[in-house]
Structure 1
Amino acid sequence: MNYTLHQLEIFSKVAELKSVTKASEALYLTQPAVSIQLKKFQEQFNMPLFEIVGRKLYITEFGDEIAQAAKRILDEVQAMNYKSKSYHGQLAGKLKIAIVSTAKYAMPYLLSDFIHQHKDVDLIMDVTNKATVVKSLENNEVDFAMVSTRPKNLSIERIELMKNKLFLVGGDEYTGKPHNIPRYGFERLPLIFREHGSATRLAMEQYIAKHELSVYKKMELTSNEAIKQAVIAGLGVSIMPLIGIKNSLNMFELQIIKAKGLPIETTWNLIWLKSKNLSLVAKAFINHIQENKEAIIKEHFGWLEDY
């Protein structure tokens, strides 16, 4: 056999995405280039690695075993490259972070200078809901997580970052309405919730339970961005994190509706497992956050104090 690392990388990506087109996009290659290398790789085996049924690509059982072996080889090669760079005094390796969806408005600013300073650090960041973030941390799949509600069942270390404020917001039809909405007024509002497993959903449900409110009509969407657009379109109102709606407030697409017990205030935290064997990259990132968080927050999120 005489396959190349390039062919291993292509087959591994095709196996992962189950698509030549998606693999070519992910690898920044043309589709014909991927197809040619995939064909050359297949020719070196007596058994099929994949099959096409209809228009769908399926990896065979044998192909799945080869894909797993390819991934192990590629990981080892990457580790060798990191070690070589580290030997020459460069910080090199992977930084894996899982964040809740609202944290996508903050984490890039906390990462930016660090990633620019260390060109050989590769960032892998998963943006999802709180339940999945906590699961990733618990399974040791990531180095860090950014959450506003700390998991109670995990032994963690943390760095407190900044306040997270959640307000009741509606579309422009609420412009000029009374400053404080009464209880009976709140209970007549069509409410838009995040999906189960979301920290924003939990905060909203806890607020409703605490104030013993009934819900007139409830909708559920799976992202804050989708909820924001739904509120702007007049589908209903929602309790949303302030950090994600600044521009819409400035453009008067959204209006803050004042109500008893609002805003809800939590705190963003960078967290990691106490038992985690931190890499040099992870330790360097902790130092970066501890030394620079106040300046970063002041520069990019000082406006939060105006609300």
Structure 2
Amino acid sequence: MRKELHRITLRQLQVFRSLCATLSYSRTAEEMALTQPAVSLQMRQLEELVGQPLFEYVGRKLYLTDAATILLAASGDIFNRLEILDMQLSALQGTLHGELRLAVASSIQYLTPHLLAAFRQRHPEVSFRLEVSTRAEVIRRLRDNLDDVVLVGMVPADRALDFFPFLNNPVIAVAAPDHPLAARQQLGLAELESQMVLVREIGSGVRKACDEFFQQKRVHLQRVMQMGSGETVVQSAIAGLGIGLVSAHSAAPWLRNGQLARLDFTDLPLFRSWCAVHARGKRLSPVAEAFLAFLREERALIKQLAEPFS
């Protein structure tokens, strides 16, 4: 290794990472409690140690160079390793300390805070950074290694991943209580072919599961209205736009208060599982390891927490 790299300080890397995020010397100075000349000096010194320019101006806008992009990734590894060290030292003292970075698909967003609260009862020094998004965005975050663990309904088959199911995730059909099919029992799936059906967007786990299921059952939906979230499907069904195919977790509050009715299709619910996923070979922090152990070992508690959302 070049000896100059040994002289890079953590403070320089902190300032550098802030500047990469803000792309503004003045805002970085404010965030780091420095003067703007001090930020400029830190970056000049860092560039001398790296041996290449890290930033360049195009017009009046600041951009990262290729060297900066490489250094940003390496500095992320360094700070992540220090965070793991902090957690490991805390574990030696008998306490689990640190932050869990978690990304979840939107259809499990209502249950997730209850999972985290139950986990934190066991480890009160743990904090969380929670991102809720579409399945496609969660998979992108998984690819970019932005989180410790992600929770999704359908695990991509084209990636090297470690995962395990921890909770059933039934997909059900719902509609407004005055929908013509709401009062009928033992409905066949073929009934859906003449109805307006509200579905999630392409790429959603619920949509993918439904498409595969209907193909297997040889059911061809003729009238489909696509929605961008499970909550939009639910609200559209409440409004009377059609029959919604949605995770039971997303529909539960409105089923309980009577704004929605669950339709009695003989082949539904469609059962899927929520899975905890991370990249194979990923170095997991002690907090992430403890959270995965919680999901594996506390199935009865998790099922109890999920009952209001089922």
Q: TM-score, normalised by structure 2?
A: 0.70
Tell me if the contact between 2:152 and 2:275 (Cα under 8 Å) persists in the aligned partners. Answer: yes
Match of 1:16 in 2: 21
Kindly tell me the number of residue pairs found equivalent between the two proteins: 291
Within the candidate set 202, 210, 230, 1:204 is matched to 210
Tell me if the contact between 1:110 and 1:293 (Cα under 8 Å) persists in the aligned partners. Answer: no
Match of 1:226 in 2: 232
Change in Cα spacing, 1:114 to 1:53, as seen in structure 2 (3 Å) is farther
Counterpart amino acid of 1:88? Answer: Q
Cα distance in 2 for partners of 1:135, 1:60 equals 22
CA deviation string 1:168-187 (max 9, x = no partner): 12235427844145666522
Match of 1:28 in 2: none
Match of 2:194 in 1: 188
Change in Cα spacing, 1:190 to 1:20, as seen in structure 2 (3 Å) is farther
Tell me if the contact between 2:25 and 2:39 (Cα under 8 Å) persists in the aligned partners. Answer: no
Change in Cα spacing, 1:92 to 1:183, as seen in structure 2 (3 Å) is closer
Counterpart amino acid of 1:42? Answer: S
> Which aligned pairs between 1:162-177 and structure 2 lie closer than 5 A?
162-174=167-179, 177=182
> Which aligned pairs between 1:229-268 and structure 2 lie closer than 5 A?
229-268=235-274
Residue 122 of structure 1, CA deviation = 4.4
Match of 2:292 in 1: 286
Change in Cα spacing, 1:38 to 1:101, as seen in structure 2 (3 Å) is farther
Match of 2:128 in 1: 123
Q: Does 1:42 align with 2:25?
A: no
Q: Mind listing any 5+ residue stretches in structure 2 that lack a counterpart?
A: 1-8, 45-52
Tell me if the contact between 2:252 and 2:308 (Cα under 8 Å) persists in the aligned partners. Answer: no
Counterpart amino acid of 1:170? Answer: A
Change in Cα spacing, 1:117 to 1:38, as seen in structure 2 (3 Å) is farther
The sequence identity of aligned pairs, in percent, is 21
Counterpart amino acid of 1:261? Answer: D
Cα distance in 2 for partners of 1:235, 1:241 equals 18
CA deviation string 1:51-105 (max 9, x = no partner): 6978xx6434387677567656654654554454345343234434443322223
Match of 1:301 in 2: 306
Within the candidate set 40, 59, 63, 1:59 is matched to 63
Deviates more, 1:274-283 or 1:252-261: 274-283
Deviates more, 1:287-296 or 1:31-40: 31-40
Counterpart amino acid of 2:210? Answer: M
Cα distance in 1 for partners of 2:131, 2:236 equals 24
Residue 42 of structure 1, CA deviation = 3.2
Counterpart amino acid of 2:169? Answer: N
Residue 242 of structure 1, CA deviation = 0.8
CA deviation string 1:221-273 (max 9, x = no partner): 33212322333333433210111111112233322233342221223333456
Tell me if the contact between 1:20 and 1:35 (Cα under 8 Å) persists in the aligned partners. Answer: no
Counterpart amino acid of 2:220? Answer: S
Change in Cα spacing, 1:140 to 1:7, as seen in structure 2 (3 Å) is closer
Change in Cα spacing, 1:18 to 1:102, as seen in structure 2 (3 Å) is farther
Cα distance in 2 for partners of 1:38, 1:217 equals 61
Within the candidate set 99, 107, 110, 1:102 is matched to 107
Deviates more, 1:272-281 or 1:31-40: 31-40
Counterpart amino acid of 2:166? Answer: L
Cα distance in 2 for partners of 1:279, 1:36 equals 30
Cα distance in 1 for partners of 2:247, 2:91 equals 40
Tell me if the contact between 2:87 and 2:286 (Cα under 8 Å) persists in the aligned partners. Answer: no
Change in Cα spacing, 1:51 to 1:66, as seen in structure 2 (3 Å) is farther
Tell me, what secondary structure is at the counterpart of 1:105?
coil
Change in Cα spacing, 1:295 to 1:79, as seen in structure 2 (3 Å) is closer
CA deviation string 1:202-238 (max 9, x = no partner): 1221233233333333332332123223333334332
Change in Cα spacing, 1:258 to 1:79, as seen in structure 2 (3 Å) is closer
